[in-house]
Homo-oligomer: A and B are copies of this chain.
Amino acid sequence: MTRSTLETAVAANHELFMQTGDRIESVLAEFGLTPATAQALWAIDPTEAPPSMKSLAARLYCNAPNLSFVMNQLTDRGLVERSADPSDRRSRVVALTEDGRRVRSAVIEATLALTPFAGLTDDELRQLVQLLGKALGRGGTGGPPQAPAAS
């Protein structure tokens, strides 16, 4: 192995990201989603408290204007709703609509069916999650999952 293991890992991470995005592209289009809107939709976990624009932007590594733009598309599409945070009326929290929850589930479903990771066994996946989690600095086993996700 001439390339360093670290370089290979970074390259493989990148490649898997690109391949996954490439494979779900047409599915997203069927739902009227773009990579950016799909990523944002995925990042809103309906089982958690609706995030503010600020926290969502941080989660997506984008700035506030960008998130406003993307959220406008999702609200136009009827998938999310913005409402004022009662405790701080400057802040707006974003929640999925009923339709938003359905589309989000469908997108995740399709992604899990198409991602190259689907070719790994359960044991391999658990090992992998362990290693990726450590790289992300999420402690041993049970750290709170706060990750966003695929484009």
Name A's B-contacting residues (CB within 8 A). 2-22, 39, 47, 60-61, 108, 111-112, 115-120, 122, 124-129, 131-137, 145, 147-151
A12 touches B147 (CB 8 A): yes
Interface centre among A47, A116, A151 (most CB of B within 10 A): A116
In the complex this chain forms, how many copies of it are found? 2
Q: Write the nearest CB–CB distance from A67 to chain B, whole angstroms.
A: 14
Residues of B within 8 A of A21 (CB): 61
Cα A35 to Cα B9 with chains together (Å) = 19
Q: Take A4-B112, A116-B136, A116-B137 as given contacts and tell me if A151 and B14 are in contact as well, using a CB distance cutoff of 8 Å.
A: yes
Cα A13 to Cα B147 with chains together (Å) = 10
Residues of B within 8 A of A126 (CB): 5
B20 touches A13 (CB 8 A): yes
B135 touches A119 (CB 8 A): yes
Q: Write the nearest CB–CB distance from A16 to chain B, whole angstroms.
A: 6
Cα A123 to Cα B112 with chains together (Å) = 28
Q: Write the nearest CB–CB distance from A38 to chain B, whole angstroms.
A: 11
Q: Beyond the given A6-B115, A7-B112, A128-B135, could you list 12 further A-B residue pairs with CB under 8 A, ordered by the A residue number?
A: A9-B125, A10-B111, A10-B117, A11-B145, A11-B149, A13-B117, A14-B147, A15-B147, A16-B132, A17-B17, A21-B61, A116-B135
